[in-house]
Amino acid sequence: MRLENRVALITGAGSGIGRESALLFATEGAAVVVADVNEAGGQETVKMIQSAGGKAHFVYADVSKAHDCEQMVAAAEKEFDALHILFNNAGVMLSADDDAIATEETVWDLTMNVNLKGVFLGCKYGIPAIRRSGGGSIINVASFVALVGAATPQLAYTASKGGVLSMTRELAVIHARENIRVNALCPGPLRTELLMKFLNTEEKRQRRLVHIPMGRFGEAREIAKAALFLASDESSFTTGATFTVDGGITAAYVTPA
């Protein structure tokens, strides 16, 4: 098993990519701390892991709040004695997120607080714990829209994910000699509740699909498999990477510098 004797903390693990990753990490031997603001969803993920014979613990965490992030890391060390893998996955994509003119300041602030500040706070409290365990892997969820402009305007989301990419690169350089790897995972458009709520009309969905060479939305479980690679020793020489799993969309639209 690729994550045997490892402890993983996954934010936003009550649904979507987070849940799929929690289930997969557990089957690969990890003890999983499931963090989410959705207690029902988080507890359900824990029950799914435990019913399959795995180890899991739920902790409520609003990643935009320092206290909650500190407590979720403390819970990992209290319940499982260590932290080796931090998957900063929690995020929001608000339907009112639009262009610079139409996007309200409250939408901008909430998006930045969860998507960007939440990753910062996860690392702020998670890195010392990973250091105490002798090293490990941090995976920060960015997005393909951090690399290309979004066909459907979502300025706050795109900007927040661009910030995640920059922060990931700097953290990777800072902590490379400490056996702490930091990578950014950039999913393409996925068939998740988060995106489908944003692409809430057939016109919006088709506007996205036309740009994806594979002609379909990705699935959360496909991103979980990429996260597993970054969490495991299979990626032992990978840090500071922008790992795109996007059905070819950036290959079609990004011109190398």
- What are the sequence ranges of the domains in the chain? 7-243
pLDDT tens-digit series, residues 211-221: 889 988 899 99
Burial string for 171-194 (b: 16+ CB within 10 Å, else e) reads: bbeebeeeebbbbbbbbbbbebee
253 is annotated as an active-site residue: no
pLDDT of residue 236: 98
Determine which one of 60, 125, 157, 253 is catalytic: 157
Helix (H) / strand (E) element for 126: namely helix 118-132
pLDDT of residue 255: 66
CATH for 7-243? 3.40.50.720
pLDDT of residue 167: 98
pLDDT of residue 256: 66
Q: Which residues of the chain have pLDDT under 70?
A: 255-257
Share of the chain above pLDDT 90, in %: 84
The rounded distance, in Å, linking the Cα atoms of 73 and 3 is: 18
